[in-house]
Structure 1
Amino acid sequence: MLGSMVRRCLEWLAPLEKLLSGSKPICLSCGAGCDGSKPLPVCSGCWASIPWITEVLCSRCGRFEHCTDCSRRETTYYSQNRSAVRYDDTMKEWLALYKYRGKERLRRLLGPMLLHAYHLHRRHPVEPAQRDPGAQWISFVPLSEERLRERGFNQARQLAEELGRLTGLPVISLLRRTRHTDKQSFKSRAARLDDMKGIFEVDEEGLARMKAVSGSTGRLRIYLIDDVYTTGSTLNECARTIRKKASAEVYGISWAR
């Protein structure tokens, strides 16, 4: 008798739970209902507002317009970078909601968008031989301890984990920050370059794990994840630091450019 009462209670609660939880998917950007027909958890309006980068003019950094940064750089330590979207006002708002206003659920929106940049690497390799990537790993730009305490999470790490989940590639921590710096978005190009010098060091534990799994032979490619590519100074310094300790090709994947 008790069992039948429990079953009746569960039958009564089921439609109520469905009603409370909502039967339609919710757009992670604006909160409106969506029909689930898009590849991302957004409504049709938000989907249409995404400024995807489909063609690049600079084969090195993936810029969609004329590039002056790459020609001015003395040495480039990364193989190439690709970004998913242009950093317009709508994308700035999405990133601000994610990084600064505590809406961590947006990792399920921004993270899968990196797949587009990942596939751009395969479509536009710097050299034909690089179509065969060999062993592939995903890593991310680290935050300082101060910034991590302030924000509560590393957005680059979360995005890397989302991309790893979708591609099946292993995600590993390869870098640590040696010191805290102010936000780079408010600085000139020269100030960014000065700030980046010696700011990273290799995470020896992560490096040892990668080498143990990958072995000592064959090609090794590391996809380094960040949220926004501006001048490339962060990616270049990360790649320089990694390549001092590992024979690897470093490819940047940023959410926005």
Structure 2
Amino acid sequence: MKRRIDLLQWLQPTPNLCIVCGHPNLHASASNALHAFAPLRQLKLHEVVCKSCLNEIAWIDKILCKRCGRRDRCPDCSRREESALWMNRSAVFYSEAMKQWLHRYKFQGDERLSSLFGKMLMPAVERVTMQLIYKQGLEEHWRKSNKTAVAWLKGVSGRYWDAVTSVPLSEERYRERGFNQAQQLAACISAQASIPYYELLFRTQQGVRHSQQSRQARLSETGERFSGSHQGWNAMLRSIGRSKPLHILLVDDVYTTGSTVHACAEALMRVGSGDLTVASITWARS
């Protein structure tokens, strides 16, 4: 009898576990299902994240700084002069819970979280894509389609993001972690939004950990740490069949002062002779 019970237990399907906390209470509540922002409703995060962890997500719902996507007033952008970076949009506020999630992924090597973080980035991609639609004067045509901005622009030839790229990791950090989190997140966006991924940047200086720098030191950093990859750039141009104007999404994990993504945007402008639009997508905004 005991063997029969053991066999029945073995045959029963294993309950799905929350990818964040490991508890088997998925589908208990789709707390993001009633969110007003349509792309967020479509993520279906409740299929991989439990109710408790879903409620920890610090979504950025309201944006006050149109430039960096911060949800309150931004002193950094007011001090910064003209920049090569068009704008930044982030998925979440860098709360204590979000810091713990990123620490597990980035420093403890839990790469399972890359797919979750990649899904979480899509509302930010949607928001910056909406801004691209406004910039190109296509708002009226888009609204008539009743589609999300990303879905609509997929069918508009020559008016979509030409490429997605990522902030390059230093050789030392790559050896420590074994992966580049920004590259993995960019690959997720590439797959979900059908935007080709290219390695368009490389590091010319290894730099210091941002966690070891003061805020002023981060703000004073220049684009000399990064350079555009001519090999990657030429591969992109051969693929898309045109040279300008170009629209590129740059991906990183966290936007603090913006020094890294601004430096990368400057490097892209140099290799692209300036005739392009660079927007950054970051998972968290501090």
Give the root-mean-square deviation of aligned CA atoms.
2.2
Contact 1:84 1:116 (8 Å CA) reproduced: yes
**CA deviation after TM superposition for structure 1 residue 122, in Å:** 3.0
Gaps spanning 5+ residues in structure 2: where?
Answer: 1-6, 31-43, 139-152, 154-158
Deviation at 1:18?
Answer: 5.6
Asked if 1:216 corresponds to 2:242, the answer is: yes
Match for 2:277 among 249, 253, 257?
A: 249
Q: Secondary structure at the residue paired with 2:267?
A: helix
Deviation at 1:217, TM superposition (A): 5.3
Q: Which position in structure 1 is the counterpart of 2:111?
A: 104
SS of 2:102's equivalent in the other structure is: helix
1:63-99 C-alpha deviation (Å, 9 max, x unpaired): 1001111111122111110000000000000000001
Cα distance change on mapping 1:56 and 1:23 into 2, 3 Å: same
Distance 1:111 1:17, change over 3 A: farther
Using the TM superposition, name which of 28-37 and 110-119 deviates more.
28-37
Tell me, which stretches of 5 or more residues in structure 1 are unaligned?
1-13
Structure-1 residue corresponding to 2:60: 53
* 1:92-127 deviation line (CA, Å, top 9, x unaligned): 000000011121111121111110110111344595
Counterpart in the other structure of 1:11:
none
- Cα distance in structure 2, aligned partners of 1:154 and 1:18: 39
Which segment is superposed worse, 54-63 or 134-143?
A: 134-143
1:187 aligned partner? 213
1:28 aligns with 19
- TM superposition shift of 1:17: 6.8
How far does residue 218 in structure 1 lie from its aligned partner after superposition? 5.4
- The 3-state SS of whatever aligns with 2:227 is strand
Q: 2:189 aligned with 1:163, yes or no?
A: yes
Deviates more, 1:182-191 or 1:55-64: 182-191
Alpha-carbon distance in 2 for matches of 1:235, 1:218:
21
Percent identity among equivalent residues?
40
TM-score normalized with structure 2 length: 0.78
1:101-154 superposed Cα distances (whole Å, 9 cap, x missing partner): 121111121111110110111344595327574342110000011111111100
Please report the TM-score for the alignment, with normalisation by the length of structure 1: 0.86
Which of 1 and 2 has higher RCO (CA within 8 Å, sep 6+)?
A: 1
Q: In the aligned structure 2, how far is the partner of 1:34 from the partner of 1:190? A: 44
Q: Given that residues 161 and 249 in structure 2 are in contact (C-alpha distance below 8 angstroms), is that contact kept between their aligned partners in structure 1?
A: no
Q: Does 1:74 align with 2:81?
A: yes
Question: Could you give the per-residue CA deviations for residues 151-174 of structure 1, whole angstroms, max 9, x where no partner exists?
Answer: 110000011111111111111110
The aligned length equals 242
